[in-house]
Copies of this chain bind each other. A is one copy, B any other.
Amino acid sequence: MTNFNFVCPVPDPLVDFVTQSHGAGGKLSQELIDKVFLPAYGNAILATKSDSGELAVPAKPGRLAMTTDSFVVRPLVFPGGDLGSLAVFGTLNDLAVQGAEPLALTAGWIIEEGFAICELHRLAQSMGDALRRSNVQVIAADTKVVERGHGDGCYLTTSGVGWIRDGIMMRGDRIQSGDRILLSGTIAEHGMAVMTYRNGMEFAPPLQSDCASLWPLVKKLLEEVPGIRVMRDPTRGGIAASLNEFAEASKCCLRVWEEKVPVRPQVQRACELLGIDPWVVANEGKLLVVVPKDDADQVLHIMRSDPLGVEGAIIGEVDATHPRKVIAQTRFGTHRIVPMPTGELLPRIC
């Protein structure tokens, strides 16, 4: 499925394909680590090959955040990203929306026997690039191999720890009536890029995943706007799922002005073709923020000054009319309840 043209980046692969022995903890496992993973994202901590990586805790007072995600995206490489970069950015974003500065990541690979080592090399390199761009390291890793027919190329589980400095507290139950809801840009790009690419649908230019680290934008927001109630990166289930989680946690009504939610025309067309509501489609580089009304303009200004948020918008407000519900208000003045998506249509987009 990964049919982008690329030249095998390993000039002298020790073997061409992953075998079960590569996952059995012996010599071949070591070779895979030494020739594929360490060159891609090695560092002094990983090079110790200890059972655990060690790291110092920041000197400033605060607490730890910890997160994990298993990535089973199919295809492994898609326009705008791949399994490696998606795992890094996805994990960093889960920390970021908690208000946590990333400290370190881990990587657990589950590889299907017969997977091409040069493809693995490519994914690992992409992971390394994403890590370097984000100034964070993988400090512990594991590799397992499963028999042919018991995997799908490879799966990757990344976990992350981050540091939440004192005073930051992101929680859905802090949302109050009167608050404003902001979104950092156009929605549904990751999910539709993967879906259309997987189904062989061609667009010119191709739909691109928005896969990116939100931490630089979040860092600015945390420094400038202490009042932020909660943030979320609306991945699986899209903004519909995140907004419903907010409504549930706060027992408030989240009212969203439909025409304020930015969707690229091409993505909108792809959604219409496939009969999918863009609100339920995954994003991998977008930020939902709920803030007190008086902070909304400042948050919008910071968003729009950042490359990740130039199309940011105030998309709605919180009130007490329909507790625990998300209401979409159309441009014609009509209303509809936005349910928690059931998700049947969009498997394996992350």
Task: Identify which of residues 47-91 in chain A touch chain B, using a CB-to-CB cut-off of 8 Å.
Answer: 48-57, 63-72
Residues in B with CB closer than 8 Å to A48 are 171
Question: Which of A197-205, A230-238, A253-261, A262-270 touches B?
Answer: A230-238
Question: Is A226 in contact with chain B by the CB < 8 A criterion?
Answer: no
Question: Is A98 in contact with chain B by the CB < 8 A criterion?
Answer: yes
B51 x A55 contact (CB < 8 A)? no
B157 x A108 contact (CB < 8 A)? yes
How large, as a class, is the contact surface on chain A? 35 or more
Residues in B with CB closer than 8 Å to A49 are 245, 249
Question: Is A107 in contact with chain B by the CB < 8 A criterion?
Answer: yes
| Contacts A51-B232, A54-B65 given; does A26 touch B340 at CB 8 Å | yes
| Nearest-neighbor residue (CB-CB) of A55 within chain B | B64
Question: Is A314 in contact with chain B by the CB < 8 A criterion?
Answer: no
Residues in B with CB closer than 8 Å to A171 are 48, 50
Residues in B with CB closer than 8 Å to A155 are 110, 144, 146, 155
B26 x A343 contact (CB < 8 A)? yes
**CA of A164 to CA of B172 in the docked complex: distance in angstroms?**
33
Question: Is A213 in contact with chain B by the CB < 8 A criterion?
Answer: no
| Nearest-neighbor residue (CB-CB) of A153 within chain B | B150
Question: Is A145 in contact with chain B by the CB < 8 A criterion?
Answer: yes
B343 x A159 contact (CB < 8 A)? no
Of B66, B110, B237, which one neighbours A26 at CB under 8 angstroms?
A: B237
| Nearest-neighbor residue (CB-CB) of A245 within chain B | B49
B146 x A149 contact (CB < 8 A)? no
A94 x B28 contact (CB < 8 A)? no
B347 x A145 contact (CB < 8 A)? yes
Question: Which of A4-12, A135-143, A326-334 touches B?
Answer: A135-143
A106 x B66 contact (CB < 8 A)? yes
Question: Is A109 in contact with chain B by the CB < 8 A criterion?
Answer: yes
26 pairs, A vs B, C-beta closer than 8 Å: A20-B347, A21-B343, A24-B236, A24-B344, A25-B235, A25-B341, A26-B241, A28-B343, A30-B340, A48-B171, A53-B65, A53-B66, A57-B57, A57-B64, A64-B103, A66-B159, A68-B157, A72-B144, A94-B140, A108-B159, A140-B159, A147-B347, A147-B348, A149-B149, A150-B151, A151-B151
